[in-house]
């Protein structure tokens, strides 16, 4: 069993509410019961802990956003055993709150793959701020400029792509939309750190801003572990440790810590070819962009 999170409109394009209805983008769990990356009525797949009884691909929903622009979104409508119908994109679109304009529907009842759904982790789909606007992280290439908090636009020097185990203590941390000001859901590794500014930080640590690992922000509600078989992470490395913007929140770039380089020879070889100064275990000489709080200190700032 693998559990993901995706965003839905609770509606049926075949039997929609009246035009002008406000649609709320809601975040629901998606359960791939057999971990076969196919979602449908076979195999006890479920959404929001409710079995899928049918899935219709190719439905469309046209919406209007607050700025007056409109968009037609192609997706799949799932019928659930409790009578609900939920729609989610298959065209790479991102659902946000909007006003319904119109819909269209198909009569094709078939399962859909997770690749079509575009389940968003802290990998493909995450928006990174660049001088030309926000772009999906998977579209970035080495040499592209990314906006940093401290040093303006900086070129990406290396991009890492790794599939890792995502169970137990290695389970990624899921941040619901708005949990820390993020515009969309985020899924990050437990050790991934966010920049936190809090009045208690200078009181306890003499710094206005500190870095706190995702696992120390878990509250069991809007920030929680999300176990699955595996997850793929993308990492962006710059000439120094940077604070960048992902989905509107400040977070860290990749830091080539000694632990990482000792554990992954392939990563070490790649990075030492680009940064000879990392040879011989000198990654610890790379300072972090902000002080990093340890597990015992993080709750002093992270609590609300």
pLDDT at 302: 56
Q: Quick check: is 198 in a domain?
A: yes
Q: How confident is the model at residue 304 (pLDDT cuts 50, 70, 90)?
A: very low
Q: Are residues 167 and 298 in the same domain?
A: yes
Q: How confident is the model at residue 168 (pLDDT cuts 50, 70, 90)?
A: confident
CATH at 142: 2.170.16.10
Q: Are residues 168 and 79 in the same domain?
A: no
Q: Are residues 7 and 86 in the same domain?
A: yes
Q: How far apart are CA 55 and CA 68, in angstroms?
A: 31
Q: Are residues 240 and 161 in the same domain?
A: yes
Q: How far apart are CA 133 and CA 138, in angstroms?
A: 15
Q: How far apart are CA 256 and CA 285, in angstroms?
A: 10
Q: Quick check: is 270 in a domain?
A: no
Say yes or no to pLDDT of 242 above 60.
Answer: yes
Domain carrying residue 217: 127-253+289-302
Of 14-28, 135-149, 225-239, 276-290, the least confident: 276-290
Q: Quick check: is 272 in a domain?
A: no
pLDDT at 144: 97
Q: Quick check: is 277 in a domain?
A: no
Q: Are residues 136 and 185 in the same domain?
A: yes
Q: Quick check: is 275 in a domain?
A: no
Q: Would you say 255 and 243 are in contact if contact means Cβ atoms under 8 Å apart?
A: no
Q: How confident is the model at residue 21 (pLDDT cuts 50, 70, 90)?
A: very high
Say yes or no to pLDDT of 29 above 60.
Answer: yes
DSSP string, 96-154: -SEEEEEEE----B--EEHHHHT---SSTT-EEEETTEEEEGGG--TT-EEEETTTEEE
| Residue, of 33 and 9, whose pLDDT is higher | 9
Q: Quick check: is 201 in a domain?
A: yes
| Residue, of 276 and 111, whose pLDDT is higher | 111
| Total domains, the chain | 2
The domain boundary, picked from 95, 117, 139, lies at 117
The domain boundary, picked from 88, 117, 146, lies at 117
Q: What is the mean pLDDT of residues 19-36?
A: 84
pLDDT at 25: 86
Q: Are residues 15 and 99 in the same domain?
A: yes
Q: What is the mean pLDDT of the chain?
A: 80
Q: Are residues 110 and 217 in the same domain?
A: no
Q: What is the mean pLDDT of residues 208-222?
A: 85
Q: What is the mean pLDDT of residues 145-171?
A: 86
Q: How far apart are CA 147 and CA 124, in angstroms?
A: 19
Q: How confident is the model at residue 108 (pLDDT cuts 50, 70, 90)?
A: confident
Q: Are residues 73 and 131 in the same domain?
A: no
The domain boundary, picked from 86, 117, 148, lies at 117
Q: How confident is the model at residue 259 (pLDDT cuts 50, 70, 90)?
A: very low
Q: Are residues 94 and 12 in the same domain?
A: yes
| Residue, of 164 and 21, whose pLDDT is higher | 21
pLDDT at 26: 86
Say yes or no to pLDDT of 277 above 80.
Answer: no
Q: How far apart are CA 87 and CA 94, in angstroms?
A: 12
Of 109-113, 162-166, 217-221, 241-245, the least confident: 162-166
Q: How many CA atoms lie within 13 A of 9 on its CB side?
A: 30
Say yes or no to pLDDT of 248 above 80.
Answer: yes
Q: In what order do the strands lie in the sheet with 173-175?
A: 186-188, 173-175, 223-225
Q: Are residues 139 and 85 in the same domain?
A: no
Q: What is the mean pLDDT of residues 246-256?
A: 88
Q: Quick check: is 241 in a domain?
A: yes
Q: Are residues 94 and 148 in the same domain?
A: no
The pair of three-digit structure tokens given for residue 34, joined into one six-digit string? 């057999």
Q: What is the mean pLDDT of residues 135-154?
A: 94
Q: How confident is the model at residue 201 (pLDDT cuts 50, 70, 90)?
A: low
Percent of the chain with pLDDT over 90: 30
| Residue, of 154 and 186, whose pLDDT is higher | 154
Chain centre to alpha carbon of residue 117: 14
Q: Are residues 85 and 110 in the same domain?
A: yes
Q: Quick check: is 83 in a domain?
A: yes
């Amino acid at each position: 069993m693998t559990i993901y999170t995706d965003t839905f409109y609770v509606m049926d394009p075949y039997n929609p509410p009246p035009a002008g209805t406000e649609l709320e983008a809601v975040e629901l769990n998606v359960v791939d019961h057999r971990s076969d990356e196919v979602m449908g009525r076979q195999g006890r797949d479920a959404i929001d802990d409710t079995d899928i009884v049918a899935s219709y691909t190719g439905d469309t929903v046209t919406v209007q956003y607050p700025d007056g622009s409109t968009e037609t979104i192609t997706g799949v409508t799932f019928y659930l055993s409790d009578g609900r119908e939920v729609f989610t994109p298959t065209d790479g679109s991102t659902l946000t709150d909007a006003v319904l304009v119109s819909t269209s529907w198909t009569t094709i009842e078939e399962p859909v793959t997770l690749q079509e759904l575009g389940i968003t982790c802290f990998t493909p789909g995450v928006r990174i701020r660049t001088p030309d606007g926000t772009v999906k992280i998977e579209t970035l290439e080495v040499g592209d400029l990314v906006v940093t908090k401290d040093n303006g636009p900086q070129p990406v020097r290396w991009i890492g792509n790794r599939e890792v185990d995502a169970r137990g203590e290695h389970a990624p941390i899921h941040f619901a939309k708005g949990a820390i000001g993020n515009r969309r859901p985020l899924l990050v590794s437990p050790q991934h750190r966010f920049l936190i500014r809090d009045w208690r930080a200078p009181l306890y640590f003499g710094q206005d801003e500190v870095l706190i690992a995702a696992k120390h922000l878990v509250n069991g509600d809007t920030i929680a572990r999300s176990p699955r078989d595996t997850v793929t992470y993308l990492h962006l490395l710059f000439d120094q440790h940077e604070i960048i913007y992902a989905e509107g929140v400040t977070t860290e770039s990749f830091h080539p810590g000694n632990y990482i380089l000792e554990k992954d020879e392939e990563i070490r070889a790649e990075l030492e070819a680009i940064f000879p100064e990392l040879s011989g275990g000198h990654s610890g000489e790379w300072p972090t962009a902000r002080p990093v709080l340890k597990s015992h200190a993080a709750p002093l700032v992270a609590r609300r």
